[in-house]
Amino acid sequence: TAYGPGLSFGTTGQPAEFTVVIKNAGPGGLSVAVEGPSKTEIQCVNNKDGTCTVSYLPLAPGDYKINVKFRDQDIVGSPFYAKVFGETRKRAQVSMGTTSDVPLRIPNTDISALSASVTTPAGTEEPCILKQLADNLGVSFTPKTAGEHMINIYQAGKHIP
pLDDT of residue 91: 56
Task: Give φ, ψ of 5 to 5 degrees.
Answer: -65, -30
The two counts, helices (H) then strands (E), for the chain are: 0, 16
pLDDT band at 80 (very low <50, low <70, confident <90, very high): very high
pLDDT band at 23 (very low <50, low <70, confident <90, very high): confident
Best CA proximity match to 105, nearest among 129, 141, 139: 139
Dist CA 22 CA 48 (whole Å): 10
Strands 62-70 and 42-46: unpaired
Judge whether 86 and 12 are in contact, CB under 8 Å: yes
Dist CA 146 CA 144 (whole Å): 7
79 upstream amide cis, omega within 30 of 0? yes
pLDDT at 114 over 70: yes
Dist CA 58 CA 43 (whole Å): 12
Dist CA 80 CA 86 (whole Å): 20
Helix (H, G, I), strand (E, B) or coil at 130: strand
The whole-number average pLDDT for the span 88-117 is 70
The whole-number average pLDDT for the span 79-99 is 76
> What does the pLDDT look like over 117-137, one tens digit per residue?
888 888 888 888 888 777 777
Judge whether 159 and 121 are in contact, CB under 8 Å: no
Dist CA 89 CA 99 (whole Å): 22
pLDDT of residue 54: 95
Best CA proximity match to 66, nearest among 39, 35, 37: 35
